[in-house]
Structure 1
Amino acid sequence: MEGIWIWMLIMAMVAGNHAAEFNVLKFGAKGDGKTDDSAAILNAWKEACKSSEASTVVIPKGTYMVGSMAIQGPCQAPIAILAEKVRFVAPIDPARLTSHNGWFNFQGIDKFSLQGGRFDGQGEITWHENNCAAGKCGSMPINLSFHQITNSVIHSITSFDSKQFHINVLSCTNVTFQRIRISSPHESLNTDGMHIARSSGINLTQADIKTGDDCVSVGDGSEQVNIEDMWCGPGHGIAIGSLGQYNNEEPVIGITVKNCTLTNTVNGVRLMTRPASSTEGIARDLHFKDIVMDNVTTPILIDQEYCPYNLCDTKVPSRVKISDVSFEDIRGTSASKLAVKLRCSKGVPCENVVLSNIKLAYQGSDGAATSECANVKPILKGEMFPPACEVSST
């Protein structure tokens, strides 16, 4: 963690007086909420990116109407975007966002800092197109996509009402997201707060996420991901997976979630793999610690029979091996009677799953909280409520 704070200090210097400044107003931006400022901002970025010294793209206070933004590297030196007290507004019509990835696309940049900015995706009219359960799985624009970003810091941004995922992190290395706010209502389908895949050294700290899907989802190829000091809800909780759906998925290794609070979420912390997995897979060294659950449905969940929309063969067990998992110091209230559910694969049972100091109370009037296990023998430590589950093989 020391290296992260040192790097953040460096980024602060880049964003300050020590950097060459490129003010978007000098490139023709208006920031009046009416003018399309896309070209002006992109032109300022291109000039800053060519600078041989550390540079900052300065976006003064205002409302900027922008379309698809391809903010690309590599750049010649460390580079920052400073957008404090700035609101970016996307077109309501998704057809006006021509980029394949969505709205703001950051790609191929090293030593990058983004500080500030409210990114308003205006996604309300598109959410009904994201209802996969009803056979509608439209590919809608993502508010912010980070692809092949390295050694960088994203700080104090807000993503609001995205048309699909709010933030997508793909093939990134050593990137810290700090003081991130994400907001869309519970009815905003398929609007994951942050999706992380095929990335390593990702840190998410001090985040407040309210959305209609997973607050954070971790996909294949994710290694050494740390999620800390996060508030989640409404939403579907914090998920690793689902895994095993596609060919050639990469292992998930070294995921830590700690000091988080989940409120009124559909799930708590969960691991999901598909039955009839396309290929063998690995998910190991996964740790959930010091988490508060407030009226959460199924606070602790391993589901290796995850089959949304009944589009898989549940009779064929998952081939994703889950091992070295811990749930420690998890407390609060469960909205469902089944507070702990560990349902592992019959083909590759879970190994070394630890439950330690679990205190979850059921809020209903029809009995106490319960737990359920299949194809796993959990290691129990400390206080355990609900009582440890009966182990079965199915």
Structure 2
Amino acid sequence: MVGLRKPKALFFVVLLVIAISIANAAKDLKEKEDVGIPRNLHEVDHPEKKDAPVGSKIAEKVKGAAASVASAASNASAASAASAASAASAASAGIKGAVAPIGNKLGLKGAAPGGPSIDVKTCGAKGDGKTDDSAAFMDVWKKAIVATTPTTILVPKGDYLVDNLELEGPSKCAITFEMHGNLKAPSAVTTRKPHSGWVNFKKLENFVLNGNGAIFDGQGSVAWKVNDCKQTGKCNNLPINIRLTSLNNSKICGITSTNSKLFHMNIHQCSNVTLQDVHIDAPPESLNTDGIHIGKSIGVTIRGSKIKTGDDCISIGDGTENLLVEGVECGPGHGISIGSLGKYPNEQPVKGITVRKCIIKHTDNGVRIKTWPGSPPGLVSNALFEDITMDNVSLPVLIDQVYCPDGKCKQGPSKVKLENLNFKNIHGTSSTKIAVKLLCSPGCPCENVCLSNINLVSNSKEGAAVSACSNVKPVVTGKMIPAACTEECKPDKKK
């Protein structure tokens, strides 16, 4: 009887060790949940920055318990070892049952950062480039905007044919649109309401679009043949590739818009929105396909973009304030422009525009401000164009206050006031004789225009570069090549 008591006592000791280990593991889990443990794989991918996952800590406890069991078993009789092994197996099974729901709770099966994720393919999207996946995308979006935790929409690799997408909020929590596949528009030319978009993101807070190199293909080559605003005046009823409306504190990164039927991107009534590595790709013959247009928005930042298009690379409309354009490569296209302004009444002022560290090459214009003649009152104030490289640009620096591309304009001077403009550290080559042209309004002369460290050389056979001015007396500092205002400039109807 005495010989049997020791194995039994050892057996209960082993069970006690396992029970204590499980209890400690559960306690650790509870403490980590209370302090906000990482709840997704993205946050635990970097162990040097984050605590070890709860699952691994439980595994360490189990490993310690197993070591205790093995040590005890080695000193026990065969019968006792068998009993200990049976108890350990049962305990292990119990722990696995406990770990599984914990893993699910922590998002260890691929949940999105901060909350659940929804895959468009689970909602029926095919991604074969032929099937209309519009319904699947809208189904996913409807689920995301009502989610009570931050949600990620996953778009796996593939080509998704979608018609008009109205991805509109408000959402209850932040949404991340995580793309690894491409979106493709129907090639057919269909008329829409003016200024409407193909893919629309609207009324969203803290929205993130991670493109990961994704392409928004507008398939616009057929539309360009009928998109002639000069002749028909009806180009605005074609869709803009991507329209951002009423977005706040949001970020768009890593996407490319190609072959849009009209503008590639339109940013309207937004605040604190950043575009990072957003690229535009379309041939020069793509009419009226402005790369990125901003209007009635505050605090927009555009960084690291390459823009090739048939119109303005970036166009800045009325109501734009505190805009930063940095590190953009533009060309082919019509350059980076403020305006056109003054075509419509009650346009809002444009203030605080900074364009810097950009490369503009093989374009019709470089940096320019354009306003219509006979315009209502308006204002452009505090604009800085700095550290710009021009490569074979037709008109590298241009103020044009008689902008009239169709030749059908009102008579009279522009009343859009231009003040506090600074063109600084601009160098490179002009493909025409006129490298700097400041054509200001006789009814509203430009005020406080500064030219600083300009060095532009003409590649034209017409001779050395010149600078032409009208209705402006610029303040010149540093090097100025060509010399400022050596000629009186004349109106030019060129876009």
- The alpha-carbon distance between structure 1 residues 216 and 90, as it changes in their structure 2 partners (threshold 3 A), is same
> Tell me, which stretches of 5 or more residues in structure 2 are unaligned?
1-41, 44-110, 491-495
Aligned to 2:4: none
- The secondary structure found in structure 2 opposite 1:196 is strand
TM-score scaled by structure 1? 0.93
Q: CA offsets, 1:35-63, max 9 Å, x none? A: 11111111111101111111100111111
| 2:317 pairs with 1:219 | yes
- The alpha-carbon distance between structure 1 residues 378 and 99, as it changes in their structure 2 partners (threshold 3 A), is closer
Give the letter aligned to residue 219 of structure 1. Answer: G
- The alpha-carbon distance between structure 1 residues 100 and 210, as it changes in their structure 2 partners (threshold 3 A), is closer
Q: Tell me by how many angstroms 1:392 deviates.
A: 5.7
Give the letter aligned to residue 282 of structure 1. Answer: L
Give the letter aligned to residue 365 of structure 1. Answer: K
Aligned to 1:46: 142
Give the letter aligned to residue 90 of structure 1. Answer: A
Q: Tell me by how many angstroms 1:250 deviates.
A: 0.3
Q: Tell me by how many angstroms 1:124 deviates.
A: 0.2
Residues in 1 aligned to 2:464 and 2:283: alpha-carbon distance in whole angstroms: 31
- The secondary structure found in structure 2 opposite 1:94 is coil
Give the letter aligned to residue 199 of structure 1. Answer: S
Aligned to 1:67: 163
Which of 343, 353, 369 is the aligned partner of 1:255? 353
Q: Tell me by how many angstroms 1:130 deviates.
A: 2.1
| 2:213 pairs with 1:108 | no
Aligned to 1:151: 249
Aligned to 1:284: 381
Residues in 2 aligned to 1:53 and 1:391: alpha-carbon distance in whole angstroms: 64
Which of 468, 474, 478 is the aligned partner of 1:372? 468
Of residues 126-135 and 253-262 in structure 1, the stretch that sits farther from structure 2 once superposed is: 126-135
| 2:228 pairs with 1:131 | yes
| 2:192 pairs with 1:77 | no
Which of 51, 57, 61 is the aligned partner of 2:153? 57
Which of 343, 357, 363 is the aligned partner of 1:245? 343
Q: Tell me by how many angstroms 1:162 deviates.
A: 0.2
Q: CA offsets, 1:45-103, max 9 Å, x none? A: 1101111111100111111010000000000011110002x111100113287897121
Q: Which has the larger radius of gyration?
A: 2
Contact 1:375 1:391 in 2 (8 A): no
Of residues 254-263 and 131-140 in structure 1, the stretch that sits farther from structure 2 once superposed is: 131-140
Residues in 2 aligned to 1:274 and 1:91: alpha-carbon distance in whole angstroms: 35
CA RMSD of aligned residues (A): 1.7
> Tell me, which stretches of 5 or more residues in structure 1 are unaligned?
1-11
Aligned length: 379
- More strand as a share of residues: 1
Aligned pairs for 1:1-394 (under 5 A) are 16-84=112-180, 86-95=181-190, 101-116=196-211, 117-135=214-232, 137-138=234-235, 139-277=237-375, 279-314=376-411, 316-390=412-486
- Give aligned-pair identity as a percent: 47
Give the letter aligned to residue 328 of structure 2. Answer: M
Q: Tell me by how many angstroms 1:129 deviates.
A: 2.1
Residues in 2 aligned to 1:367 and 1:99: alpha-carbon distance in whole angstroms: 45
The one of the two structures with greater contact order (alpha-carbon pairs below 8 A, sep at least 6) is 1
Of residues 26-35 and 254-263 in structure 1, the stretch that sits farther from structure 2 once superposed is: 26-35
- The secondary structure found in structure 2 opposite 1:308 is coil
Residues in 1 aligned to 2:339 and 2:148: alpha-carbon distance in whole angstroms: 41
- The alpha-carbon distance between structure 1 residues 253 and 292, as it changes in their structure 2 partners (threshold 3 A), is same
- The secondary structure found in structure 2 opposite 1:309 is coil
- The secondary structure found in structure 2 opposite 1:349 is coil
Q: CA offsets, 1:151-190, max 9 Å, x none? A: 1000000101000000001111110000011100000000
Q: Tell me by how many angstroms 1:391 deviates.
A: 7.3
- The secondary structure found in structure 1 opposite 2:448 is strand
- The secondary structure found in structure 2 opposite 1:52 is coil
Q: CA offsets, 1:221-276, max 9 Å, x none? A: 00001000000000000000011100110000000000000110010000001110
- More helix as a share of residues: 2
Give the letter aligned to residue 301 of structure 2. Answer: N
- The secondary structure found in structure 2 opposite 1:134 is helix
